[in-house]
Structure 1
Amino acid sequence: MYKASPRQGLLPELDSERPLQTQFVDPVATAVRQLKGTLGDTLHSAYLSGDIAHRTAPDKATMNVTLVTQRSLNVNEYSMLNTVRFRIEQGSEAISRVAIDVVPINDVRDLGNIFKWGFFLKHCTQCIQGDNLAQSFGHFEVSWEVCKAMNDDLSARLRELQNKVAIATKWGTQLDAAEEAASRLIKASFGLVAYKANRWEEELDACSRVFLEFYPDKTLEMERLFYLIQRKPVKKRAVVALLDAHWKWVVDEYEKTDRKIG
């Protein structure tokens, strides 16, 4: 999964020389071609993250792609990316969903974002197109600054996902939104303790396990979040209530920890 570790205390990079799992080779190659064809020179580079990048994906998985662009995209370009996303999802049985994030290169190069984009590109992704910006950053250690930065969009994204659950008219739409929200909450929960454990995890089971070492009283909440990860049908009201309760607790804990450390 990772290259040989750098000096003690610093995290390793993903081993990009290791082949992807067989079922994802063609879908990733197709994604690269279509994304490059859609955005042309506006695309600076593209990065694969998540289970597929870590070579730990099940037979069918979400493809997480981050695009670094030369500038902010317009509405038409985002529409074209949605078309690409749909084509990839429909064109491969191995891909359950395609998640595409877009960030302008100036945001990546902003020193104020180093604990977010620098850490993410260096330790959580594999470059699959263009000049690899991860090479611009040194290795990071797990710190509270990293944990905060990697979850700084939690509230905004959870609001969007809760709304998707609330207005969903199809089970698939509701299950997708609930699964992503639960995944983000589990990782955000892990972010509360990663710096204490001095380790970084990507797999949800590992994130939950480390979190519960510090917050064993949250076992029931983790079990319920994994119920959503498993895409079990749950009534909208119950989903929203579960997400809302743990989300507010997590945000409050981040604020308490930040005041304590700051």
Structure 2
Amino acid sequence: MEHTRIGHKGLDGHGYIEREGSLGQVPPAFRPVVAAARARIAEAYGRRLHSAYLYGSLPRGTARPGESDIDLLVALQHEPDQDDLDAAEVLVQGLDQDFDVIDGGGILLFSKETLLSEQERYDLGWFLACLCTPLLGSDLAEHLPRYRPDTLLARETNGDLADVLPRWRERAAAAGSPEERRKLVRAVSRRLVRTGLTLVMPRWHGWTSDLRESAEVFGEYYPERATQMRAAAGTALTPTGDPDVLRAYLDDLGPWLAQEYAARIGTKARRTGHPGALVPGPDTA
């Protein structure tokens, strides 16, 4: 069955996913914080740094002042240690405190070896090559392949949702305030929408990072779940601390999506090791 083409499918003329975003697309209001991030990363890591990247709404040009966070990936010459994690925490907290234009942020820390490993070729490798904008250093994407929106990519990027759900439930049970739940809702809804998009990606033959477009694409293939996914896209952009919203994700949409993903796409290959870390800011789950 042919489905309506929604927007630009994010592919080049050969069917490969085009790299999204650029520093030139960063909205003017966010350029000072991006410049500060570049300078502070270089100062914090020095010779330990291989390269750094910006991803998310800022390089896509869709960031909203006071609502969007800053998302960074740092590639180190070695596996991250505690000093690296501490430096990242200080860095992201400093950016959040010094720039009202952002609402928190986070830094992904990995070694160059991990990012280029065969094990991460269709997960972190794809993420860097297609979703990250170079900010500092030599671009590791030059050592990675081109990627198509196929079943292999879908499986290796989001085929672990069933493993993630128990951790979300633990965090939901521990959340003691609406603000803590809001942060978790933001993270969970983003992940569910992106998982919904990659579930149908091999059939749609395209890619988009736009959450609302992702929900619409998903809804063409699963109309019975379209309303839920549109709502998830909305809460990803404007999160709520309502416990009923979180409960619906963890008890209904999430388990159904994990089951359907396993049946149609398969499950992600088990990792022998996954060195690296996400250092969250005040509003990054």
Structure 2 gaps of 5+ residues are 1-7, 268-285
Could you tell me whether the CA contact under 8 Å between 1:47 and 1:67 is conserved in 2? yes
- SS of alignment partner, residue 218 of structure 1: helix
TM-score, normalization by structure 1:
0.88
Shift of residue 50, structure 1, vs aligned partner: 0.9
Please tell me the residue identity of whatever aligns with 2:108.
Answer: D
Asked if 1 retains the 8 angstrom alpha-carbon contact of 2:181 and 2:242, the reply is no
Partners of 1:198 and 1:175 lie apart in 2 by: 33
- 1:140 corresponding residue in structure 2: 147
2:175 is the counterpart of 1:171: no
Higher alpha-carbon deviation: 196-205 or 153-162: 153-162
- How many residues align structurally? 257
The one-letter amino acid paired with 1:116 is: D
Per mean C-alpha deviation after superposition, the further-off stretch among 91-100 and 13-22 is 13-22
Aligned twin of 1:78? 85
- From 71, 85, 94, the equivalent of 1:64 is 71
> In the alignment, is the contact (CA less than 8 A) between 1:142 and 1:198 conserved in 2?
yes
1:44-193 matched pairs, under 5 angstroms: 44-60=50-66, 61-152=68-159, 154-155=161-162, 157-193=164-200
1:159 offset after TM fit, Å? 4.2
* Cα deviation digits, residues 127-172 of structure 1 (max 9, x gap): 1011111122343221111112222554555544443333233332
Per the TM alignment, residue 124 of structure 1 is displaced from its structure 2 partner at its CA by: 0.9
For the 8 Å contact 2:159–2:265, the answer to whether it is kept is no
C-alpha distance in structure 2 between counterparts of 1:177 and 1:154, whole Å: 15
In structure 2, the CA distance between the partners of 1:25 and 1:162, relative to structure 1 (3 Å rule), is farther
CA RMSD of aligned residues (A): 2.4
Q: Which residue of 1 aligns with 2:32?
A: 26
Closer, same or farther in 2 for the Cα pair 1:197/1:46, shift >3 Å? same
State the partner residue of 2:280.
none
Check the 8 A contact 2:56/2:70 in 1, yes or no.
yes
Q: Which string of whole-angstrom CA distances, capped at 9 and with x for unpartnered residues, describes residues 222-262 of structure 1?
A: 24424532223312x651342342222222112111359xx
* TM-score (norm. length: structure 2): 0.81
Whole-angstrom distance in 2 between the partners of 1:155 and 1:69:
30
Pick one of 205, 208, 223 that aligns with 1:201.
208
Indicate if the aligned counterparts of 2:21 and 2:131 stay in contact, CA closer than 8 A.
no
> Match for 1:202: what amino acid?
S
Q: Once the 2 structures are TM-superposed, how far is the Cα of residue 178 of structure 1 from its aligned partner?
A: 1.1
The aligned counterpart of 1:16 is 22
Q: Does the CA contact (< 8 Å) of 1:175 and 1:228 recur in 2?
A: no
Asked if structure 1 preserves the Cα contact closer than 8 Å seen for 2:212 and 2:230, the reply is: no
Distance 1:168 1:30, change over 3 A: same
Letter of the 2:58 partner, please give it: I
Q: Structure with the greater relative contact order (CA < 8 A, sep ≥ 6): 1 or 2?
A: 2
Structure 1 gap ranges (5+): none
| Alpha-carbon distance in structure 2 between the residues aligned to 1:126 and 1:108 | 15
Q: Does 1:231 align with 2:242?
A: no
Q: Residues of 1 paired with 2:36 and 2:249: CA distance?
A: 37
Say which structure is richer in helix: 1
**Do the aligned partners of 1:48 and 1:65 also contact (CA within 8 Å) in 2?**
yes
